[in-house]
Amino acid sequence: MLITHDTRCALDTVVDLVNSAPEDDTSTDGLQDVAALADFVRNHEISDVGVLSEFDLSAVRKIRGRFAGIFAAPDARAAAGMINELVAAAGTTPRLTDHDGYDWHVHYFAPGASVADHLAADCGMALAFFVVAGEQERLRRCEAPDCRRAFVDLSRNRSRRYCDSRTCGNRLHVAAYRARRKEATG
């Protein structure tokens, strides 16, 4: 599957957006306030965004939950339905652009769109490409028992089971190795 630069950026953005949600009642929201949203926008180089407000923060948190649903979708049909609703509500207006030193690429958000509509359109379309390619199962959640972070499995054989953010796979492999050694030494 060919993944263009702008699609890869949108995938990274949507994964980080989904993972910014608090995991439980004790963890903090990665989008705690408008300043955190502004940092998110800046760190992900989201272009054409005006002055952010509490309304933007609320709207982005709502679409974050909708994106989380796509990563939890049981099949391509369910994911497609969620993506269609998300992208349609954003009022997509595909257009070619070459800005900030990047060659020609497609933006799906309408000029002057809110940051939430911008994310819904561009990130929604990036996820749509995976469903169209028959690769929806690459949109995953970490299989570590104490982690449910979202990630996109870009491995050749679709074998990735753990996120990168917490070295979940490494921790589980080390624990299994230690348990085997302990059992062997009795």
Beta bridge partners of 107: 95
What pLDDT is stored for residue 170 in this prediction?
65
Torsion of CA 40, 44, 164, 14, to 10 degrees: 80
Q: What is the pTM of this model?
A: 0.86
Mean pLDDT, residues 76-80: 96
What pLDDT is stored for residue 176 in this prediction?
61
Asked whether the beta carbons of 91 and 108 are under 8 A apart, the reply is: no
Does pLDDT of 26 surpass 80? yes
Does pLDDT of 2 surpass 90? no
- Nearest CA to 79 out of 2, 149, 138 is that of 138
- Nearest CA to 115 out of 174, 175, 62, 186 is that of 62
What pLDDT is stored for residue 115 in this prediction?
96
How far apart, in whole angstroms, are the C-alpha atoms of residue 116 and residue 91?
Answer: 11
